[in-house]
């Protein structure tokens, strides 16, 4: 199913975001000095942040239970979660915005520019092979008479326009609406760095977009329904981008410094998460009454997601260890393929042409995880090896200064500054 003209349909039937479309958890540079004032250098994450994969696992878990609540034989315990799956998409968007922005900032710091061609090629090699494998799985199921194949829905997925109303859709390619939005983000957001726009202005615009969600989302739902699978989700991407800009900045922003100074901020964050989940449940319960909980929800979820990711990215973040346990890390690593395959098994009963145990709880959950693992080990990992070989053959190390980038936004001052910049910082220009 693609974008729906009604919010209820888009949340109940359109599945949530592709969880691992972005690169694996990035490797960060050395930490900056940990000063305490708002004008002090920002604290920068160090090493690989495994807990980001753990957070992806939490996100895909929300999606799985949200979809599973509508499947045959779903236990009564999970049925109230049927309208909560959208929280998973929004958290995925924030994770993606954070990682992609950080990688772009690091590339511009190293080379003084962003190689758009190499960036888009890496994204394509990351996204397309697992998608093709999952689409083949849906085609095989259709050939076996288990599901109905929809050419318009397939072409909507293929052209990454599922978050629009251009082509009608069905359940089995409906989840590509969120992947479509992510790919549009990958296409446009790097231009901000390639064109060397002012970091201060970009940060201000991101903050306005996050805080403006309290108005943007209700107005879109009420008056701009064709864009309701686009505009309401931009603040969630912006929240991740804003955090990456803040952590990479030469000086810690005042809002981040204030949050770090909060006493027992882990408990405060826990209370905020519980509040956000309650509001999300109330919003799902009252979908027909758009103004009852929607404005609060629209602001609370991106802000909470930003702080959750911050507590993973910060060197002393309270969630770094809690989310870095092996089962969560494994589930987070397979989450992209799992997301792509779960749609085939976790549909409502009326989406299938014939009954099967594989469409009933809990067998559908087991089948989805098994296919997700297959997609990860048999498609994603070989594709990643191919991507590394191609990068090595062209001298491209993912944006290193050795590559010959497409020359967008080249700035010799930035390049010279990056040579002496501290690791993990945004070069002054």
Domain span holding position 368: 7-419
Write the CA distances from 259 to 110, 253, 256, 308, 317, integer angstroms.
29, 10, 5, 12, 11
| Inter-axis angle of helices 265-285 and 85-111, nearest 10 | 130
Is 101 contained in some domain? Answer: yes
Closest CA to 426 of 202, 195, 105, 113: 105
pLDDT bracket for residue 9 (50, 70, 90): very low
Is 424 contained in some domain? Answer: no
β-sheet bridge partners, residue 27: 48
What is the pLDDT, as a whole number, of residue 393?
Answer: 63
Write the CA distances from 256 to 5, 252, 259, 306, integer angstroms.
38, 7, 5, 11
Place of tokens 């064709």: 226
What is the pLDDT, as a whole number, of residue 93?
Answer: 98
> Which pair of tokens denotes residue 369?
């995880």
Is 2 contained in some domain? Answer: no
Is 425 contained in some domain? Answer: no
Average pLDDT over every residue of 384-407: 56
Is 1 contained in some domain? Answer: no
Average pLDDT over every residue of 132-144: 94
What is the tens place of the pLDDT at every residue in 111-123? 888 899 989 999 9
Is 44 contained in some domain? Answer: yes
What is the tens place of the pLDDT at every residue in 305-333? 999 999 999 999 999 999 999 999 999 99
Is 427 contained in some domain? Answer: no
| Domains in the chain, number | 1
Is 428 contained in some domain? Answer: no
Write down the mean pLDDT value for the chain: 83
pLDDT bracket for residue 405 (50, 70, 90): very low
What is the tens place of the pLDDT at every residue in 21-39? 444 444 443 333 343 334 4
């Amino acid at each position: 199913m693609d974008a729906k003209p009604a919010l209820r349909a888009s949340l109940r039937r359109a599945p949530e975001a592709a969880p691992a479309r972005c690169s694996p958890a990035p490797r960060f540079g050395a930490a900056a000095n940990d000063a305490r004032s708002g004008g002090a250098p920002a604290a920068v994450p160090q090493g690989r942040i495994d807990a980001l994969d753990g957070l992806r696992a939490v996100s895909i878990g929300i999606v799985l239970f949200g979809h599973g609540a509508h499947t045959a034989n779903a236990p009564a315990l999970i049925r109230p979660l049927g309208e909560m799956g959208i929280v998973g998409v929004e958290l995925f968007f924030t994770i993606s915005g954070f990682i992609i922005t950080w990688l772009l900032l690091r590339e511009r710091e190293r080379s003084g520019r962003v190689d758009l061609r190499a960036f888009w090629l890496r994204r394509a090699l990351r996204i397309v092979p697992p998608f093709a494998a999952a689409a083949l799985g849906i085609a095989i199921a259709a050939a076996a008479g288990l599901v109905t194949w929809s050419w318009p829905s397939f072409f909507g997925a293929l052209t990454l326009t599922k978050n629009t109303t251009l082509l009608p859709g069905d359940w089995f390619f409906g989840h590509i609406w969120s992947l479509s939005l992510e790919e549009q983000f990958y296409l446009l957001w790097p231009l901000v760095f390639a064109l060397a726009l002012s970091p201060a202005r970009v940060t201000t615009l991101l903050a306005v977009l996050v805080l403006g969600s309290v108005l943007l989302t209700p107005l879109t739902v009420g008056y701009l329904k064709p864009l309701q699978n686009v505009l309401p989700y931009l603040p969630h991407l912006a929240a991740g981008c804003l955090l990456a800009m803040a952590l990479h900045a030469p000086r810690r922003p005042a809002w981040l410094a204030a949050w770090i100074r909060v006493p027992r901020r882990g408990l405060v964050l826990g209370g905020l998460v519980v509040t956000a989940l309650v509001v999300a449940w109330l919003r799902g319960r009252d979908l027909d009454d758009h103004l009852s909980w929607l404005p609060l929800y629209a602001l609370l979820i991106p802000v909470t997601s930003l702080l959750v990711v911050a507590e993973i990215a910060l060197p002393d973040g309270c969630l770094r260890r809690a989310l870095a346990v092996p089962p969560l890390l494994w589930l987070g690593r397979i989450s992209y393929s799992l997301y792509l395959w779960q749609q085939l098994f976790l549909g409502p009963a009326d989406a299938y042409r014939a009954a099967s145990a594989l469409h009933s709880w809990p067998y559908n959950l087991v089948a989805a995880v098994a296919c997700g693992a297959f997609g990860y080990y048999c498609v994603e990992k070989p594709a990643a090896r191919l991507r590394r070989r191609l990068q090595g053959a062209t001298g491209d190390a993912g944006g290193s200064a050795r590559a010959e980038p497409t020359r967008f936004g080249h700035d010799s001052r930035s390049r010279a500054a990056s040579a002496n910049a501290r690791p993990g910082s945004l070069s002054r220009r």
